Amino acid sequence: MFTTVSLNKPTLQFGSQGAAVKELQLLLNSFFPSNLLSVDGAFGLVTQQRVKSFQVRVALDTDGTVDSTTWEALIFELLFLEKTIQLPELTRGMKGDLVRWAQRRLTMSSYYAGALDGDFGSRTESATKNFQFSRKLAMDGVIGRRTWSALGKVRKP
């Protein structure tokens, strides 16, 4: 038995409304603090333009649509900036987008050489422990708050 872990965020685009749009606007404001969006829950032209600016910043397709890739980039760029966000703890046996992202960062830091399959198996656990050791973190093989933060700081060489 396994647990699937994902960001579980809706795709947003021009015209979308609601709580998810407010969350998006708050996240975008973290990246553009000198020119804050109105957090009104309406995905209008200004929000769309800010999404496009963010997508350019992180080298994504600049379409102004917030799909799972853009959500992921928003969350993990915030980790890099050391913003306070809650991500689930990942352990062996879990599967999903967040595991795949962790595998990607472990690969970038040369600790993981397996498939980016989103399956937290023995290879991912071993890579996590080695990564934790290199960062002087508890070597428990669990991706918790401190390991998420360290993974968020990994950049391409």
Q: Are residues 48 and 18 in the same domain?
A: yes
Q: Are residues 16 and 76 in the same domain?
A: yes
Q: Which domain holds residue 68?
A: 3-80
> Domains in the chain: how many in total?
2
Q: Are residues 76 and 7 in the same domain?
A: yes
pLDDT in tens, 68-115: 889 888 877 776 665 555 677 899 999 887 888 889 889 988 999 989
| DSSP annotation string for the chain | --EE-------B-TT-BSHHHHHHHHHHHHH-TTSPPP-SSB--HHHHHHHHHHHHHTT---SS-B-HHHHHHHHHHHHHTT-------B-TTEESHHHHHHHHHHHHTTS--S---SB--HHHHHHHHHHHHHTT---SS-B-HHHHHHHHT----
Q: Are residues 72 and 103 in the same domain?
A: no
Examine residue 46 and state whether it is found in any structural domain, yes or no: yes
pLDDT in tens, 125-153: 999 999 999 999 999 999 998 898 888 77
Examine residue 147 and state whether it is found in any structural domain, yes or no: yes
Examine residue 112 and state whether it is found in any structural domain, yes or no: yes
| CATH number, position 64 | 1.10.101.10
Examine residue 157 and state whether it is found in any structural domain, yes or no: no
Examine residue 74 and state whether it is found in any structural domain, yes or no: yes
Q: What is the pTM of this model?
A: 0.58
